[in-house]
Amino acid sequence: MGSPELPEAKPATPLPLRGVRVVDVGNFLAGPYAASILGEFGAEVLKIEHPIAGDPMRRFGTPSPRADATLKWLSEGRNRKSVTIDLRQPEGVQLFLKLLAKSDVLIENFRPGTLEEWGLRWEDIRAANPKLVMLRVSGYGQTGPYRRRSGFAHIAQAFGGLNYLAGFPGETPVLPGTVPLGDYIASLFGAIGVLIALRHSEATGHGQVIDVGIYESVFRVLEEIAAVYGANGKIREREGSGSFVACPHGHFRTRDDKWIAIACTTDKMFERLAVAMDQPHLSSSSLYGDQRKRLAARDQVNQLVIDWVAARPREEVLRRCLEEEVPVGKVNSIADIFEDEQFAARGNLVRVTEDATGEVVVPGVVPTLSATPGRITNLGPTLGDATDQVLRDLLGLADAELKRLHTRKII
């Protein structure tokens, strides 16, 4: 199967977060993905891992050519240096605090209370570096009766209300996309919080804690459901691929057994679709020209579109809809994405080649900045690849001291 040429990483340019040092002590994605974003725009990210096991994400997902890492780790662990420190040992805690004294941001996602159990209270961290910004991501946040419960994206998406909306009417709620959306969403809110807190720290000399619950990050993006329930007690239910506020609005199978998405949220859009279907009379006032009439006759309207789409190959449906400016798009598999010219033109797929892995294709950097575009500097590092270099250069540890710490398995 052929594929378009994927763009190489942008040439090195000064990036806006150059000079910001981030210490990422989390595992998996919720929180650490915020560090990935900061790293893509110039921050130095030090990934603190246990000397023996490291981040469990190294072993989670599809195996890669590197024995110590999955493809998930190579992609999501990118733009980092790995530094191994055992935070369960007092000497490791002291090393960690010395690193924080020379850093700007700390990101952690342990169950609330874990850092405190290791002797790393916020008071201790702030004493080491009053300007430090600390991002804490957990399933339920640092406060409240559920704060000590384990936090996973799937559970947070269910608890936050997203999974209840996913699926078809009357059927089992599903996990949207079977991907950890909650982890990514929480990390995005976390990255925003870090940037805001850094601005405050630079202005005042005082750091602060950013507290993000995964469930509340999910809940925040659920549109108007809270306002509607608060106003009239209406519970939004599962709508499948459709929408209770618009019709036709969903996914439709084409003659060549592919899928296409159509979204007609206004009367004008439906009028354009009717023209594309060579049935302009459908948008008359006596039939379905008014959104309220279409919603009242949702099944009949959807069936008209289902039949029209099913009689044609996907490319023809696309062409006709695009000619009439109907909101339309392919329902892409990853194979479709690799072949698509828009993904190629926007640099959404980036090939990174390293000696130990060969070529690995990873998602590109988002957002796109015109003057200082972010970049991918390296794939997920090997465990402890920068331990000696960072502790020697940043903390001034001598080789003999490094050897002693290695022997005692503190690093």
pLDDT in tens, 38-56: 999 999 999 999 999 899 9
Write b or e for each residue in 357-370: b if 16 or more Cβ atoms lie within 10 A of its Cβ, otherwise e: beebebebbeeeee
CB 245 within 8 A of CB 264: no
pLDDT of residue 244: 82
Catalytic residue among 86, 104, 183, 211: 183
* Separation of alpha carbons 28 and 36, rounded Å: 12
CB 393 within 8 A of CB 59: no
Q: Determine the straight-line distance between the first and last CA of the chain, rounded to whole angstroms.
A: 46
Alpha helices in 244-374 (DSSP H): 267-276, 291-296, 298-310, 314-323, 334-339, 341-345
pLDDT of residue 143: 97
CB 259 within 8 A of CB 251: yes
* Separation of alpha carbons 297 and 127, rounded Å: 65
pLDDT of residue 11: 55
Q: What CA–CA distances, in Å, run from 193 to 48, 90, 137, 336, 404?
A: 21, 30, 11, 35, 39
pLDDT of residue 12: 66
* Separation of alpha carbons 227 and 232, rounded Å: 9
Secondary structure class of 287 (helix, strand, coil): coil
Q: Output the pTM of the full model.
A: 0.93
Cβ contacts of residue 144 below 8 Å, gap of 6+?
none
Cβ contacts of residue 388 below 8 Å, gap of 6+?
402
Catalytic residue flag (residue 68): no
pLDDT tens per residue across span 364-384: 999 999 999 999 999 999 999
pLDDT of residue 184: 98
CB 288 within 8 A of CB 294: yes
Between CA 405 and CA 148, with CA 45 as vertex, the angle to 5 degrees is: 80
Closest CA to 329 of 339, 340, 318, 319: 318
Q: List, for the chain, all residue ranges whose pLDDT scores fall below the cut of 50.
A: 1-10
Bridge-based pairing of strands 105-108 and 21-24 is parallel
pLDDT of residue 2: 43
* Separation of alpha carbons 117 and 111, rounded Å: 11
Which regions of 52-208 does DSSP assign to beta strands (E)? 81-84, 105-108, 133-138
| β-bridge partners, 351 | 361
Amino acid letter for position 317: V
CB 46 within 8 A of CB 80: yes
CB 381 within 8 A of CB 77: yes
Domains by residue range for the chain, with CATH: 21-222+346-407 (3.40.50.10540), 249-338 (3.30.1540.10)
